[in-house]
Amino acid sequence: MITFILAAVALIAVLAVVVGIADAAGRPAARRKAAERRERWEARRLSYHGPSDEGWDED
């Protein structure tokens, strides 16, 4: 029983390392996609509402 628990903990640790490496490898592509999505969203927002006045509450 103890062997099973140790094997399960080891498997979880190995999976955590593998997922971390895979996430780090795909991160630049995900950031690029997010930046492109945000640019498209900002362009649509400007076409619907015009330029924003984000400094309206600053003294």
Residue 24 has pLDDT above 60, yes or no: yes
What pLDDT is attached to residue 44?
87
**Domain range for residue 37?**
15-47
What pLDDT is attached to residue 20?
93
What is the count of structural domains for the chain?
1
Residue 49 has pLDDT above 80, yes or no: no
Q: Mean pLDDT across the stretch 46-56?
A: 67
15 conformational bin, left if phi > 0, alpha if psi -120 to 50, beta if neither: alpha
Query: What is the percent of the chain with per-residue pLDDT over 90, rounded to a whole number?
Result: 56
Q: Is residue 5 assigned to a domain? A: no
Q: Is residue 20 assigned to a domain? A: yes
Q: Is residue 43 assigned to a domain? A: yes
Q: Is residue 54 assigned to a domain? A: no
Q: Is residue 3 assigned to a domain? A: no
Q: Is residue 21 assigned to a domain? A: yes
This prediction's pTM: 0.52
Cα 52 from Cα 34, distance rounded (Å)? 21
